[in-house]
Amino acid sequence: MVFWISPEIRAATIACNRGRPTLLGHPRSDNAMHVRPHTWKANVAAESVNDADFMFGFQELRDIMQLYDIPSDTWTSASSLPVPINHSNAGVVDSKIFVLGALQVSPEGEGIDGSWQAIGAGWVYDISTDTWEVLAPLPEGTERGAAAVGVHNKIIYLAGGMRSLELSPDGEQDTVDTVSAFDTVSGTWLSLPDAASRIPEGRDHAGGAVVGDVFYVLGGRCRGQNNTKDTVFSLDLGNTNAGWQVSPSRMPTPRGGISVGTVQTRIYTFGGEGNQAEGSLGVFNETEVFDAEAETWSELQPMKLPRHGTSAVAVGERIYIPGGGLIQGADPVNVTDVYLSGVEAVTSM
């Protein structure tokens, strides 16, 4: 019972700007309403602050950040990221956007030629001043991008991710099972109990969401675009000593590179890559929702414009999905979809 409105962007995060929801991100989508940003993007992060959404980090390495003001339906450019990145790990706390690790081109003479390598650098963006500040980097050995992200009690959790991505069809993709926690109040990285410090199996390009006190890691992949997963891992953040649990309820369609938005106790998953069906171009159009309370999955109306590498942002009952890629590993677009829950229709604008 939903309908789509399709706008055009590529990744977003929601922050607050003078009480207005703001979206940060990149462009592309289909089953929704179309809103177009200035540039084309894929494999980006998106966050929302008040009535604005922000997008940052592209499939190609760039330092562009864009802001979408929801009430006025307009895009503007924000202060550039300190360095060009993609596959960034981002979350919002107190109307500030935290970027904690990402991927970057391998330094000349280091790493694997033709690859992206993890960096542990961190920054925080203040929408009220349009400025970035440097944060404590990820602890040595835990640098990564493409992690599942959850925010709870002003702590940002990163689960899984990847240390490197070699840019060739059979290139190495170094997936990890590491879990990290950043205290946004003290500006420090926290130590987690052993039982909480690793997810049950390595994941990158998975969906991350927090419902109540529980952090969920949904789907994703492990060491390769086509090695997609259907698992749901969960961690009770009120009792991290109990460690990670594996839900008996499996995602109907194993997918990596998905975007995720949460409305109340329901976690919506959109698109993704690793589709090996003929004619799919490697991309999924599936929309599937996980009811965290009942621990059940439901299949919903598919995306009108299948894609991967986006980030979804929920504002009320609307989920904004900016940008993404139309072909596995490539073809970024500038469409933003808006998915409306609780409505029995599909609309394109």
The verdict on residue 325 lying in a domain is yes
The verdict on residue 19 lying in a domain is yes
The verdict on residue 125 lying in a domain is yes
Please give the Cα distance from 312 to 165 (Å, whole number): 23
Task: Print the domain residue range for 9.
Answer: 2-341
Please state the three-class secondary structure of the chain as a single string.
CEEEECCECCCCEEEEECCEEEEECCCCCCCECCCCCCCCECCCEEEEECCEEEEECCCCCECCEEEEECCCCEEEECCCCCCCEECCCEEEECCEEEEEEEEEECCCCCCCCCEEEEEEEEEEEECCCCEEEEECCCCCCCCCECCEEEEECCEEEEEEEEEEEECCCCCCEEEEEEEEEEECCCCEEECCCHHHCECCCCCECCEEEEECCEEEEECCECCCCCCECCCEEEEECCCHHHCEEECCCCCCCCCECCEEEEECCEEEEECCECCCCCCCCCECCCEEEEECCCCEEEEECCCCCCCECCCCEEECCEEEEECCEEECCEEEECEEEEEEECCCCCCCC
The verdict on residue 300 lying in a domain is yes
Per-residue pLDDT, 38? 42
The verdict on residue 189 lying in a domain is yes
Per-residue pLDDT, 16? 45
Output the tens digit of pLDDT for each of the chain's 349 residues.
Answer: 333 443 333 334 544 444 555 555 433 222 233 344 444 444 556 556 666 555 544 446 778 888 888 888 888 899 999 999 989 999 999 999 999 999 998 765 454 556 899 999 999 999 999 999 999 999 999 999 999 999 999 999 999 999 999 877 778 899 999 999 999 999 999 999 999 999 999 999 999 999 999 999 999 999 999 999 999 999 999 999 999 999 999 999 999 999 999 999 999 999 999 999 999 999 999 999 999 999 999 999 999 899 998 889 999 999 999 888 999 987 888 888 899 986 633 333 2
The verdict on residue 347 lying in a domain is no
Please give the Cα distance from 8 to 27 (Å, whole number): 5
The CATH number covering residue 139 comes to: 2.120.10.80
The verdict on residue 348 lying in a domain is no
The verdict on residue 166 lying in a domain is yes
Domain tally, the chain: 1
